[in-house]
Structure 1
Amino acid sequence: MSDAFITRTEIESDGDGSLDGQRIAVKDNISTEGTRTTCGSAMLAEYVPPYDATVIERLKASGATIVGKTNMDEFGMGTTTESSHFGPTTNPVDEERVPGGSSGGSAAAVAAGEADLALGTDTGGSVRCPAAFCGVVGIKPTYGLVSRYGLVAYANSLEQVGPLAPTVEKAAELLDVIAGPDERDATTRSEGADTDYASAADGDIDGTTIGVLTDLVDGADERVAAVFEERIAELEDRGAELREIELDSLAHAVRAYYVIAMSEASSNLARFDGVRYGISGGFDGDWNDAFARAREAGFGSEVKRRVLLGTYALSAGYHDKYYEKAQDTRAWIKQEFDAAFEEADVLASPTMPVLPPKLGESLEDPLQHYLMDANTVPVNLADLPAISVPAGTADGLPVGAQFVGPAFGERAVIRAASALE
């Protein structure tokens, strides 16, 4: 029994389909009717949703059995799954190390064989990071391809539900099930809804132009970069064309991402006040005191840090200085990605610039913790699809390669990843 799950359960399917007999683990910020959904937080430790998220409805209709709700960084805020109220999850590859985050429980469950497939959510890399650290496959879909109805919001404009699996084809099969528009989520699009993603995992890379994001390779640990460069070179031998691409905007992506994400978190988490949602602060005549007590007891330190910083960034006098500039940077990143896709079919980089840290190692310095997201957050800011696929190992630890595609270009990244696999 691993520490990948917060709640073990068995939610049976109510239909037959492509996932018949498959055991699915679900990140604990996705609503499951009658089964508690905690978001890894004391604030929601006993919350039981009265409805299923759209992705859960689609899983059940496809024949899948949901075997549990997986551990995660509290409200998705973290890169190691150590900020969970329920304690950290360990990496099945090396139990002294983190599994990545915030979907660490989902990746660990797949890597340990406790689930055939899993769902995570990716706000700034939270599917791809644990996929890379645990040696499995993770897909971050194009924003709008998968419904967010029933997902407990952290940062609405950035996050997407995505699959984790042992192989590219299996991840694509799960994406086939959950993709498509939803009348309950106005951000979903009809584009890509009827695409057969699994059939793209054919390994045919001949004639594909791969743009190597040199800024992200140069910034990676040399052991990670060496594994990535060796595997990408193999694709050139099989008919791909490699092209070096520099994007000046990427140097500013982490700063822009955290301003935007924390600002949206400040707004979204305002509902957890002990009255509408969350544990009670006890009313003694002053509602402000009651709210403060509920949030003091219910939120962990990382959530408090991000809510405070987001509130500050949105406050009078600072909105233009921080939030507006971050949105300008986001637009610049989108423009540079668009230009890059005029030169290449897909873009490639190491998924994570570092090897999985040891438990507790990255918590002492929040800024260094945030910088681990440097290779993944640009994709979310630009609303693009990306996949992390195992590329090999360094010092016995997994290294992931990331492929990024144009909007609704999931088939292109799935094909490239399957070739590397």
Structure 2
Amino acid sequence: MKTIKSIFYTISLSLTALFLGACQDVVNNPQVEDFSSDGAPTISKITTVTDLEQGITQSAMGQWVALQGDNLANVTSIHFNDVAVNMKEIYAVRHRINVQVPSEAPSNQTNTLTITTPLGEVTVSFTIDFPPLKVNGLLNEFAMPGSDATVTGEYFKLYGLLGDDATFTLDGKPLTIKEKTDNKIVFTIPSDAPDGAAIVLNSPKLKAPITLSYRDKGVPLFASYDKSYLFDGGYLWTDRSYFSDGTQQGDPTPPIGTSFLRRKNVYSAWTWDTLIGGHFDLSAADSDVAQHTENYYLKFEVWTPNAHPLSTGDFIFWSKQSDDKMKLRWNPASENVSFNTNGTWQTITLEAQSFFRDNNGANTLQVGANDLTIVYQPKNDLDADFAIVNLRFVKKP
């Protein structure tokens, strides 16, 4: 029994020494440990733990900092803004506290640091550099009622959207959440959801709720994608066979109507394929789009089957500009990652102002007829299969 106790004691001492040595490497513990206090805490300087001379007034999340002053031992709480630090993860002596800045956004950002001990409290100004919340929007803004929809972005956890107190509603009614991660939230659209409904994401850590519009029709470029409307009506002059009525083998169900552009083709590199050529009409009721094009997006939905991602090429949009440098180019694989919607529709958002301009950059969009050309040009050989529908102007939030 004595032998077992002796071994246990030796192992405990070894682990303690190892832990303290690790802390020394991470937080640069002071050589002299003084745990006394005889008054309220004070802070004279804040530094990083690797440079104890240069003072700092702000820090990134997760950075280790040294709080220097007096009466800092026996600390009972540390708050960055209103976020409490785990007291088991600090090292505190009389003249210094080593602490890691929390990687959590506050509910109330005051840009302050507060230390509390049994003998008092001190608050100083200190700013944490939080990355901004990024919400890309709905992956498919025209997801069908009753189906699942996905919101993508970044830092959802940081801003409380993964917490139990986060709320997700459509026209004020709670949504059923299927999945939540730091960069996406999946929920089910109610079967009776109307077009134009407001999807609202909120949490106590957000300064204001995030509102997304569901199936916002905006200002459509075409009232229908039926061949009879587009070609017999004189809007397009390009190949009628590029448009499907939804009855071809492998056709997806479109987000609106029954017809859409579907191009299934084996391309050679640098082929110039005019998908759409013609014009659309902008009514006087929608003159604001022409007068303030900079306030609008050009949106549309794209589909690719799982086996045919878009790995190369540009979709080239233009109206009246002839200078190739002035044309709007959308490269689905711009980040060297193939674009694949995996058999679902996905919303694409572009700047309308970049589409409708002349060679000098001046706006050309007008009430009445407007020229419209969309070309696909792959940079490499490609066995392609893709669909496009629902071109529209949508006002920016």
Q: TM-score, normalised by structure 2?
A: 0.20
Q: TM-score, normalised by structure 1?
A: 0.19
As a proportion of its length, which structure holds more strand? 2
Rg larger for: 2
As a proportion of its length, which structure holds more helix? 1
